Every structure is written in structure tokens, then in C-alpha cells.
Amino acid sequence: MTKQPFYITTAISYVNAPPHLGHAYEVIGADVMARFKRLDGFDVYFLTGTDEHGQKVQKMAETKGKSPQQFADEIAATFIDQTKYLNISNDQFIRTTQDDHKKASQHAWRELQSRGDIYLNKYAGWYSVRDEAYYGEDELSTREDGKKICTATGTEVEWIEEESYFFKLSAYEQKLLDLYENHPDFIQPAFRRNEVVSFVKQGLKDLSISRTSFNWGIPVPGDEKHVMYVWIDALLNYISALGYPEDKNGLFKKYWPCDVHLIGKDIVRFHAIYWPAILMSLEIPLPKRVFGHGFLLTGGNKMSKSLGNVISPQNLVEKFGADASRYALMREVTFGQDGDISWPLMTARINAELANNIGNLVQRTLSQINKNCDGKVPQPGILEDVDHALLNHAGQEMLIAVRGEFEKLQFSRALEEIVRVANAANAYIDEQAPWTLKKTDTARMQTVLYVLAETIRNLGLILQPFVPVAAHRILDQVAVPADARDFVHIGTQHALQAGAELPKPEGVFPRIVDEEPAAQEKTA
């Protein structure tokens, strides 16, 4: 039986600055999803990468006295590095300065042109030289001296007309509305969909898709004083990475259309309007889903350098390690909504759930097996109702519940289901009190410890997407072979064999102990 393909992407990160926690959050979310799907029997392709063209990068490079490519190389390296220390399982890391991507983009451009969807015209508007940006009338005000200024930045604006190629976005208005109508799940969460629909209903203007005021970009084929607007170039990464247009390796045929574009809420419009319109023009099937996640906040504020409340991905991993960092971010925030993050909140969550609940469950169970069962998987007797109840909960019940949450990308809910099982197991161990049975009924003690070991095996399996390293250590400790670790092995059909040798147990989720409480208050 061939596996069903599953293609997931993150947004490609803009290389004007190294990764911040928002980048980490997004790529972790995508990684958790990718790992889950792989373990659940899908043939997964997971893409992330960097977006390297555009005026901002050119400008940043100039201020650093570097060539744009050199600058992009340096920043891209920090994003690639991030995939390592966060333990991200991406299948490819695309960079938009790659040759094949440039060629693919130019090919797409010609295709759009051949369908009559690109035309040359002038882009005109109020431009601030200082801000290097156009502003709409509503963003402007008039100064005492009569000059027009941008209200937000206070800089003077002048009327500028610039030659530009346009994409006939307006032609796709109705098709897009039909898309949202016929595929209500195309944009998620649902409230984002409503925003997009109302935006499109206001009417779409054609999109200016080339620039002449700078040159760090992909040259427009046949008119090289223009470079492609960076978003056109950027969006095309999702297909160029798969080998569009030649598709030499067959990736495009196999994995397109994309199952999930995971992106930030700030770029929903590009992915839910421009991107499908471009694909419609190219006559390429549309992605199945665009999911816009929320932002991480601290104390209700955006993280910013000026507020001094920035938590960097490196800081996070240094303090908690990759596993616990991934857990904290996925658990603490409802995916799709903004969420509050802080050192104390994350520490509390990690200690309460990973260390105290799950970690301690594993430790207390395995150390009893180690001491009282000769270090082997104990031999169960006849199972009682309570035993079946726990095993069912930790088996199919949990898998079905967790899978349901993953379908909705509700990672924090999925973890809630998992923690619930560990909770039930802790209640079970207290109620059954194997340490008492040791003196009164060793056969029953063995049964109880067996049921717990089985529960731990299931927990280890289901935790793999979130905390890959620790989950593997848990599975090692209950001697689960490497080829018995995907989700078909969850449940009683693949239960542990009594008598199997177990290694000496070691803690997998250490408690976070703050040596400097003062450091907490700083960000609390």
C-alpha cells in the first residue's frame, strides 16, 4: 500500500534579521505536524527556507557594507542553524537566491504573461523617500507649511509614478470568492477566512509585481530593468522547491497540491488571495489549506527590543533544551490565536506536566520494575476493569483524540489529551499502590506495573512529534524496537512482551530549577 502524500510548508523567513521566537514557533509547529503525519503513516514532505530578495535586504546589506548575497548568506545560515538546534525535521531548506528557484520564478512569470495576466503600466502614489514606502491617502496628513506628510512617521511624501508590471488580480475576484465558498476550510482559523472574504468583497485592484527602484531581486524576463516584486518570487518557493516546472525528481507530481501552508497571521492575505490567484492563472491546483497562526506575546505586549522583553530561540533552547522548549511553545498557546509567553509561565508548564506528571510517572514506574521485577517487563495476570480502562485510554482513545486535534492543528489540545492520560496513570498507580502489593500480592503488583509500562510505551509513542529526543529515550527504556515506533503500534495489539530486558531507568524530563530567581522577575 502506498502512503498518502502530505506536503507541509512554513513561510520562508525574510533574511533582514536573524530568527526570533516567532520564527521558532512557526517552524516547531510545522515540525510537530510533519512528525505526527509521518508517524501516522503519511509520506511527508516538509519544506522551510528563507526569502532573500527585496529592498530591505539590499538596504540592510548596504548599511553593513556587504553585498546583498553575502548578507543573505550570513542570515540564512542562522535560520539553517535554527533548524538544527530546534531539532526540525525538514526535508528541504529552500533559499530564494538559488538558481533553480530563480529560473522557476522566471518561468512562472512568462507563463503568467502568456495567459495575458501581466501588463505594463505605471504605479503612482504618495511616496516617502525616507521611509522608502508608498502611503495611501488615509495615511497622510497636511503639515502647517502645506506639505503632505505621512501621519505615522512624519516624513514628507511626494507624488511618484513608477513603471511597473501588474498582475490582473482583479480578474480573479469572483473565482477567489467561489474558492472560499466551496472550500470553507481553505483559510483557517475560520475568523481569518471572514477577514479575507470581506477584503476580497471590497474589490481587488491589480497587483504591482515589479520594481525598478532597486535591483536585488529576480530579473523580469525580457525587461531586466525590472526585478520581480519579492512576494511573487517568495510565494513561488512552494512549487519551485518541488522542482517546478521540469519536475526532474517527480516531487511536484507527488506532493503538490500542498496540504498545509503554515504561516503567520500577518501574511494571510498573500497566501489566501495572491497565491491562489497566481496558481489559478498558472492552471496549477490550489493548496488545500492555509493556516495563519497567532503571535507570541509577553505580558500582553509584542516582544520588542525596545521593551527589552525579547526571548530569543537560542535563549530558550539554552535554558530548557530543544524538547522542553518545543513542548512549552506548543502547549502554552492555542495555535491560531495570539498567546502569552514568559519564562515563569513556560517553566511552570514544563515542571508541572513534563517533569512532575509525565517524567515522574515514567521514573516511579520503571524504578519499581527495575527493583522488583528483575529489570524485565513484568508478567501480567488477568486484567481487571481498571486495568483495561487505563490501557484503552492510553491506546486507541488517546490516539483518536490526538489525531482529531492534529486535523485542526490544535497542538495544545492534543497535548492536553496526552497529559490527561499521564494523569490517569498517576491516579491509577496511587490507587493500586504497587509498593504495597509488593508485600501482599506480587502477582497483582506485576500486573499493575505491566499496565503502567504499557501506558508509558503509548505515551512515548504519541509524544514523539513534540519531544522527539525524550520520547525516544522513553521508548528505549521500555525496550521498544526502532521499527515499532509509529502510530500503528499504539494500543494493545502491539503491547510489550513480558520478560523483555529493560535498561536501567534514567530521568527524561528534568525539573527546571531557577538558580537566579531575579532572572525570572526581569521578564515576568
Partner RNA sequence: GGCGGGGUAGCUCAGUGGUAGAGCAGAGGAAUCAUAAUCCUUUGGUCGGGGGUUCAAAUCCCUCCCUCGCUACCA
DSSP-assigned letters across all residues of 44-112: EEEEEEEE--SHHHHHHHHHTT--HHHHHHHHHHHHHHHHHHTT---SEEEETTSHHHHHHHHHHHHHH
Contacts of 482 (CB under 8 A, 6+ apart): none
Residue of 98, 153, 334, 442 interacting with RNA (CB under 7 A): 334
Measured distance CA(193)–CA(212) in Å, rounded: 34
Q: Residue 129 interacts with RNA (CB under 7 A)?
A: no
Site for RNA in 187-226 (CB under 7 A): 191, 194-195, 198-199, 202-205, 207-208
Residue of 176, 414, 429, 480 interacting with RNA (CB under 7 A): 429
Residue 472 cell numbers, joined: 525516544
Q: Residue 230 interacts with RNA (CB under 7 A)?
A: yes
Count Cα neighbours of 258 within 13 Å in the Cβ-side half-sphere: 29
3-state secondary structure of 43: strand
Q: How crowded is residue 147: how many other Cβ atoms within 10 Å of its Cβ? A: 10
Q: Residue 348 interacts with RNA (CB under 7 A)?
A: yes
Site for RNA in 256-275 (CB under 7 A): 265-267, 269
Measured distance CA(314)–CA(320) in Å, rounded: 10
Contacts of 72 (CB under 8 A, 6+ apart): 15, 50, 52, 57, 61, 95, 97
Q: Residue 440 interacts with RNA (CB under 7 A)?
A: no
3-state secondary structure of 306: coil
Question: Could you tell me the smallest distance in angstroms from the CB atom of residue 493 to RNA?
Answer: 28
Question: Could you tell me the smallest distance in angstroms from the CB atom of residue 253 to RNA?
Answer: 29
Q: Which is nearer to RNA, 33 or 333 (CB)?
A: 333
Nearest C-alpha neighbor of 333 from the set 418, 413, 263 = 413
Q: Residue 26 interacts with RNA (CB under 7 A)?
A: no
Residue of 339, 378, 465, 468 interacting with RNA (CB under 7 A): 339
Site for RNA in 158-177 (CB under 7 A): 169
Q: Residue 409 interacts with RNA (CB under 7 A)?
A: no
Q: Residue 231 interacts with RNA (CB under 7 A)?
A: yes
Measured distance CA(512)–CA(510) in Å, rounded: 6
Q: Residue 511 interacts with RNA (CB under 7 A)?
A: yes
Q: Residue 120 interacts with RNA (CB under 7 A)?
A: no
Residue of 69, 134, 389, 403 interacting with RNA (CB under 7 A): 134
Q: Residue 313 interacts with RNA (CB under 7 A)?
A: no
Interaction site with RNA (CB under 7 A): 14, 51, 54-56, 123, 125, 132-136, 169, 191, 194-195, 198-199, 202-205, 207-208, 229-231, 234, 265-267, 269, 334, 337, 339-340, 348, 352, 355-360, 362-364, 367-368, 423, 426-427, 429-431, 433, 435-436, 507-511
